[in-house]
Amino acid sequence: MKVPLLDFSRQDAALTGDLRAAFERVLASGQFIMGPEVEALERECASYLGGGVEAIGLSSGTDAILLALMALGIGPGDEVICPAYTFFATAGCVSRTGATPVFVDVLPGCFTIDPSQVAARITPKTKAIIPVHLFGQSADLEATLEIANRHRIPVIEDAAQAIGTEFEGRAVGTLGLMGCYSFFPTKNLGALGDGGLLVTPDRALGKRLRALRNHGMHVKYHHESVGGNFRLDALQAAFLRAKLPRLDAAHEARRANAALYDKLFAESALPFASLLLPRLCRGSHIYNQYVIRLPAEGNGRSRRDALRQHLADQGVTTEIYYPIPLHLQECFAPLGYRPGSLPVSEALAQETLALPIFPELRPEEIAFVVREIATFLKP
C-alpha cells in the first residue's frame, strides 16, 4: 500500500471551488501585493487567535522571526536563547541580525525547550528567548515566561507549526511579546506558496513592525527605519482566508488520527522500551507532525533508519525532523559546541521519525503503517 507523508490533492479536492473563487477575486481586484485581502486575513487571524493581538501578514514564517528580532533592535554583541532541536530558521534568523544564538536542550518527552536550561544560560547579553512549539505541541510557557519576566527579557514565540495550539486556554503565540507563525504549505494552515504571520498585543510595537515589513515606511518613500521587503501577497492571503474556517476541523482530524495511532500501537503489544509515542505535555497538541521515537538499544544505536527503510520498501513515506541538531550544524561550528553538549537534542536527531498524520489520512492507511512497524519491531 502506498501511504504518503502528505497528500495535498485530497485536501484541495474539497477546496477547489473556494480556491478558484479566491484566485478570481484577486485577479479582478488588480491588487496583488498587500491590500484588502491581506488586511482581511490579518483581522480574521487576530480574531481566531484571540488575546487582543494585532496580526501582521508577512512573506514567510522565517521572516516573522527575523522581523521580531529586528523590531527589538537585536544585533551584534547580543545573545538569543533558543532550542537546538528545531528547524534552522529559529537560530538562522538570530545569526542574520549579527547576534549569537545560545542553544539549550529540550525536554525528552515533549521535544520543547527545557526551562531549567534557559535559566542557566541567561547572561547580561541575553536580549530574547525563543521557545518553539514543536510539531504542534505547546512548550512550557508558564515556566519560560516566569524566567523571562524575572529577568525582564522579551519572549518571541516560534509557533510556526502550532497555529491553534493552546496553553492554559490561550492560543500559543499570543502569550509572549510576539508570536510567529508559518503558512508554508505543509503547515496545518498552509498557503499555496510561502506566507507567515506575526502577532503582538503591543500596539506601538505593531506599528513599528508594519513599517519594518515595508522598508521602514508608514508614508510612501519616507523611511523611518531600515526595514525590508517582508510583504505578503494578496493571492496567498486569499487562499489562506478560504482555508481558515476549516482549520479547527483539520486539527480535530489530526487529533483523531493520532488517537487511532495510539490505540493501534497499544493493541500491537510492542514493548514500551522499543517505541515511544508522542506525549501531550502542557497545553494542547495539533499534530503538525506525529513523531515516534526509537530509543538507542544496548549497542548504543537506534533502529530508526532501518525502520524508515523498511517502511519505504512497503510504500510508506516518512520524514526525519531533524537529523542534525542546530548546535552541531557546520555553520555554527565557531560557537564551540561539540557532540555531547546537548545530549537530548542529539539523541532525538538519531531516534525520531515522523509518520503520516495529515487530516485526510484514511484509517486503513494508519492501520497499515502500524502493522508494518509492529512487523519490523517484534522479535
pLDDT in tens, 313-337: 999 999 999 999 999 999 999 999 9
Whether residue 260 has pLDDT greater than 80: yes
Task: Identify the pLDDT of residue 282.
Answer: 82
Terminal Cα-to-Cα distance of the chain (whole angstroms): 23
Cβ-contact 176, 145 below 8 angstroms: yes
Question: Which range (191-205, 274-288, 348-362) has the least confidence?
Answer: 274-288
Residue 76, phi then psi, degrees to nearest 5: -55, 135
pLDDT band of 224, cuts 50, 70, 90? confident
Kindly give the pairing relationship between strand 170-171 and strand 352-355: unpaired
Grid cell for residue 359? 487530516
Strand order, beta sheet including 79-83: 100-104, 79-83, 126-129
Total H helices, total E strands in the chain: 12, 13
> Which residues are CB-neighbours of 264 under 8 A, at least 6 positions away?
366, 367, 370
CA distances to 24, 31, 63, 323, 341 from 221, rounded to whole Å, are: 31, 19, 22, 45, 48
Which CATH code, of 3.90.1150.10, 2.40.30.10, 3.30.1360.120, 2.60.200.20, is assigned to 247-377? 3.90.1150.10
pLDDT band of 18, cuts 50, 70, 90? very high
CATH of domain 8-245: 3.40.640.10
pLDDT band of 218, cuts 50, 70, 90? confident
Q: In terms of pLDDT, which residue wins out, 32 or 99?
A: 99
Cα separation, 304 vs 355, in Å, equals 12
Question: Which range (112-116, 185-189, 260-264, 270-274) has the least confidence?
Answer: 270-274
Task: Identify the pLDDT of residue 222.
Answer: 87
Kindly give the pairing relationship between strand 79-83 and strand 126-129: parallel
Cβ-contact 90, 158 below 8 angstroms: yes
Cβ-contact 116, 90 below 8 angstroms: no
Enumerate the domain spans of the chain: 8-245, 247-377
